[in-house]
Amino acid sequence: MDANPGRWRAIELRIHGVSGTPADELLDCVPSVRVLGDGLAGFFRLRRDVEPPPGDVVKEAYTWGNLTSGRSSRALWLLLLPFMLANLAYWMRPRQLGGGYGAAHNAVNHVYDAVVRLLALSLTLLLALASAGVSMDIVAWQCASTAACGSEGWLHVVSTGWWASPGRRLALAAAVPVLVVGVLWRLSHRAWKDYETDRSADPVHREAEAPLSRPGFWRGRAIVGRLRTVHVSASLAAVAGLLALAPWRADDAAGAGAQAAVGWWLVLVAAVLAGLCTLLAMLESWPGSGRRWPGRLGAAYPFVRAASILTLVAAAGYACVPRPGWAAAGPLPGFSGLLAGLFLAQCVLLLALLVVTALLYTTGRQHRAAALRGLAGPLTAALGVLLGGAFSAAVAIRSAGWLGGCPIGPSTPEAGCVPFSLPGAYAWVLVGFTVEALTALLMVAGLWFAYRRLAVGMREPVVRQYGSDADPGRTDEIARGRALGRLTEALPVCLVALMLPALALVVVTFGTASGGRVDALLTQAVADEALYVPTLALGDMPEPLLGSVDAMVTLGTWLSGLLLIGLVFLGRTAYVNRPVRQAVGILWDVGTFWPRAAHPLSPPCYAERSVPQLVSRVSAAVREGVGVVLSGHSQGSVLAAATIWQLPEDCQGKVALLTYGSPLDRLYSRYFPAYFGPVAFEDLNARTATWTNLWRTTDPIGGQIHLPRGRTVPPGEPLPDPREYDPGPGDALYPPVEAHGRYTEDPDYRPALLAAATASADAVTGTPAPNVPAQRQGTPSPEGAG
């Protein structure tokens, strides 16, 4: 259909937020609308009898909710939450907007890139090793070789006959981690088709103050493809090394020299390939790497991929070689050490990321709104690592409990219980997860008390604004709404409270490892008669403290299991319940806005589809002489801003921006200071015909948008919420506190829309708009606003 049939002066292009509002609701096509009452009982009119004629401004809606919450299978992306957090940490770096960096600062910035990408790679390896631990260690090695576990049921098939050899069972079980990695590869590969669109070659005006104006920012096909090869190849190499290690040790112990040499070479090749993948991940952050990859280094990726596949096939063949008298005993050789080494490497990387982030912050002269002095990135990465470890421990412990029939934790073993040996590293993860869960409970209690205290403090401003305290319950309702709107400011404190225990665990683990007690602390795996969860070898730790640690391990097994069951239940509910599926999608609406520059197997970036579509639609309308108002609510305002930054040069300054309930300043500016902030907003303001931002003090997400030199995007005052203290004429109910919703139904929305449409239409036709320069300069921030 034509972008402009020639009848319209301007288009109001509405972009919804994280709720995934249907197109009919966005366009106000619902025939009836409530004018009085509430959702339980109210008065309705036909919409045409409520709203004035739109004149020459036509409504148009852009819906993108199905990109994150449309298909039922996407609810299972909850299990990829650690990957998404690692990818978010990449974009949360502290860096000054505007350029002018020194050589030392640029070097530290590249180190930040490399450390986050290595952390992301470690999470993929953790997933591969965790699935290998269940299938290869617990099932194929320990359970299938135990009479009480492998003699009956489906395991009997792979415990006798040709499969009686442990190596052949390991080769069969290795298909599970390979399948897990293959599914992730397939999902990532398919995302190119669904989520990435072709981009035009229209020139974009790029400014250092606005990194999102960089051409190709939303086209990450090349780097995602390279990183995906690295992650998949490293995972296959790790599985190949683990598969070849046990038969190699058996051959070495049996004195089979030539056969043992083959196993030694396979383990060595797998280790070299994993190291090469690590090097390639680091080289992605090397200055100018994007220009070098298509040439000299591009051939390394297919080579690594092919070599990893061949090594895995060779390791499987080597494991299937007959070895008379070889029997499985104890835990799978090498698995506990590999897992412990991986956890230790993650601890080292997290500590390095803390140091690098502190250097970036001190040398980058951040705007003062940056949260946590720029440390939000390392804290988010630490949360991703902890969740990844907790998920791995939960799957391993629940699998061992189900197969062995043992109780969880220190208790008297039941008859027929088969206690499996699990890596001691899982125990430390469970300690950290338990502390995190208890901290989260305390944090919720603290937020509740802070909310109640804020509500009490808000009563006086409410009475002063409305000049009435006739109904204390009504006053309290408005005060609670304002307190909830202010509670978002406690988010940095909550993040610190959640992450301090995890970081403390990282420091303790690193310090103990540095003292030469790695084996005692991380790799011991024992199975006492009353405890199938590994005990912690903590040397001379006092007995009471040791008992507390054991109790935390036990509690952690239950909590991690409940978390895993809860996620599975949530995914199942989302499969059959669309509202629940949409609610799950809200998490991805916020977390998958950014390209997959760090973790290629994380949920795909919907903005790589949305922003090019919006740019194409807006550019076509402007070039046909139609003004455009990008009207964005909540996360839709972030997409609208990204669209403005990517508009071709001939469309700059001709599109009006209307945002409401926008997290641009309140969230994005604080947690992504290298991409958003007053300097970036000034550049964005200069690219529009006019910019208006509507906000409320009761809104916990949206807020004012600040420009340099103490100015804000107009209007400087918040929308009254509620409009009136008392019920309106003919109504018996108090007007509700709208908070983050129903902005388009506010009386101030239509005047703001018409002014924006006039400014855009005049800019497109070349007619001077006298009110635009004043608006583009911004308004002074009122004292006490927000």
Segment-wise mean pLDDT, segments of 10 residues, the chain, 786 residues: 54 73 62 54 51 67 72 63 92 80 83 94 94 89 72 60 80 92 81 61 73 86 88 95 91 83 93 93 74 64 93 93 82 86 88 90 72 85 86 81 63 60 77 80 87 89 86 88 84 76 62 44 33 37 57 74 70 61 62 89 86 89 90 92 93 93 90 90 94 92 89 89 85 85 88 92 72 44 42
Q: Which of 593, 605, 604 is CA-nearest to residue 640?
A: 593
Contact 386, 436 (CB under 8 A): yes
One-letter amino acid for residue 62 of the chain: Y
Mapped onto helix, strand or coil, the DSSP state of residue 708 is coil
Q: Which residues pair with 45 in a beta bridge?
A: 33
One-letter amino acid for residue 300 of the chain: A
Q: Sign of the CA dihedral 250, 251, 252, 255?
A: positive
Contact 698, 739 (CB under 8 A): yes
Q: Which residues pair with 693 in a beta bridge?
A: 659
Place of tokens 């080597």: 318
Contact 651, 620 (CB under 8 A): no
Q: What are phi and psi of 718, to 5 degrees?
A: -75, 160
C-alpha span between 656 and 647 (Å, rounded):
12
How many of the other CB atoms lie within 10 Å of CB of 21? Answer: 19
Burial class (CB in 10 A: 0-12, 13-18, 19+), 651: buried
Q: Which of 602, 519, 764, 621 is CA-nearest to residue 58?
A: 621
C-alpha span between 707 and 716 (Å, rounded):
12
C-alpha span between 786 and 486 (Å, rounded):
8
CA atoms within 13 A of residue 581's CA, in its CB half-sphere: 18
Mapped onto helix, strand or coil, the DSSP state of residue 439 is helix
- Cβ within 8 Å of residue 374, ≥6 positions away: 93, 94, 357, 358, 360, 361, 364, 366, 673
Q: Which two tokens stand for residue 678?
A: 């007053």
What the chain holds in terms of domains, given with CATH numbers, is 10-17+54-61+606-780 (3.40.50)
Task: Return the HEC string of 262-325.
Answer: HHHHHHHHHHHHHHHHHHHHHHCCCCCHHHHHHHHHCCHHHHHHHHHHHHHHHHHHHHCCCCCC
Contact 83, 121 (CB under 8 A): no
Alpha helices in 624-667 (DSSP H): 635-646
- Cβ within 8 Å of residue 364, ≥6 positions away: 94, 95, 96, 101, 105, 374
Burial class (CB in 10 A: 0-12, 13-18, 19+), 700: buried
Contact 228, 190 (CB under 8 A): no
Place of tokens 């921006």: 657
- With b for 16 or more beta-carbon neighbours within 10 A and e for fewer, the 537-554 pattern comes to beeeeeeeeeeebbebbb
Q: Which two tokens stand for residue 752?
A: 């703001």
Burial class (CB in 10 A: 0-12, 13-18, 19+), 287: exposed
- Cβ within 8 Å of residue 247, ≥6 positions away: 167, 170, 263, 318, 319, 321, 323, 326
Q: Which of 423, 441, 428 is CA-nearest to residue 553?
A: 428
Q: What percent helix, strand, coil does the chain show, rounded to 5?
A: 60, 5, 30
One-letter amino acid for residue 464 of the chain: R
Mapped onto helix, strand or coil, the DSSP state of residue 56 is coil
C-alpha span between 285 and 299 (Å, rounded):
18
